[in-house]
Amino acid sequence: MPKVGMEPVRRKALTDAALRAIGQHGSLAVTMSEIARQAGVSPALAHHYFGSKEQLLVETIRELLRSLRRDAIEALGSAPTQRARLSAVIAVSFDTAQFAPETVAAWLAFYGEAQRSEETRRLLVVYARRLRSNLLSALKTLCPIDDAARIAEGTAAMIDGLYIRQSLQSAPISSKASVALVENHLDAQLKEFGA
């Protein structure tokens, strides 16, 4: 019988363990038992909280998205200018926690799963729309809307592309270097608008 009040703690431990296990495997080919063992709970308790591995994986993606959203809201709230807001979005994307090897591997595994799972695809579309919206919100004050949309798409694609390259681990790039590459891209795109 689960202890009263432990559910949120154990659910979080299980999503954290799922992220680690997926990152270590480099795929979603992990079992509920492996995840439960990493979380320090029994497989039965993991099934009690989530019902199935698929439900646990969906909750793990949701937890990643919630974490990214919290970090973005905090960073955007302290940005004094629209250009600083763009830098905040970029910095959050490559924050140490978001750009950790296990997290990057998990994101890539989730993208692969999105080809088969409508729920996973839906959640990743939410991420893509949120990233584009955050970029576009600042960009449209710095340049015409058509240019803002083009620059937002290019910047988002560059962020996602750097994640893919990081997941390959053949030539890992640091978080700081990734930020610098995207910032350089933005500076080049915004130069003609004097921003």
Q: In this predicted model, what pLDDT tens digit does every residue of 152-172 receive, in sequence order?
A: 999 999 999 998 888 877 667
Q: Are the C-beta atoms of 159 and 93 separated by less than 8 Å?
A: yes
Determine, yes or no, domain membership for 11. Answer: no
Structural domain tally of the chain? 1
CA angle 169–171–177, rounded 5-degree value: 110
Q: What is the pLDDT of residue 170?
A: 67
Q: What is the pLDDT of residue 7?
A: 85
Determine, yes or no, domain membership for 37. Answer: no
Give the mean model confidence (pLDDT) for residues 24-52.
92
Give the CATH number of the domain where residue 69 resides: 1.10.357.10
- 144-to-5, 86, 164, 189 alpha-carbon distances in Å: 52, 16, 30, 12
Q: End-to-end alpha-carbon separation of the chain, Å?
A: 60
pLDDT confidence tier of residue 39, bands split at 50, 70 and 90: very high
Residue 3 has pLDDT above 70, yes or no: no
What integer best gives the mean pLDDT of the chain? 92
Beta carbons within 8 Å of 158's beta carbon, 6+ residues apart:
181, 182, 185
**Angstrom distance (rounded) from CA 103 to CA 25:** 12
**Angstrom distance (rounded) from CA 155 to CA 117:** 26
Q: What is the pLDDT of residue 2?
A: 54
Residue 18 has pLDDT above 90, yes or no: yes
Determine, yes or no, domain membership for 105. Answer: yes
CB count within 10 Å of CB 110 equals: 22
Over residues 81-117, the pLDDT tens digits come to 999 999 999 999 999 888 888 888 888 899 999 999 9
Determine, yes or no, domain membership for 156. Answer: yes
pTM of structure:
0.87
Structural domain including 164 reads 58-193
Residue 42 has pLDDT above 90, yes or no: yes
Instruction: Name which residue leads in pLDDT, 25 or 180.
Output: 180
Q: What is the pLDDT of residue 23?
A: 87
Determine, yes or no, domain membership for 5. Answer: no
Determine, yes or no, domain membership for 78. Answer: yes
Q: What is the pLDDT of residue 91?
A: 97
Q: What is the pLDDT of residue 34?
A: 95
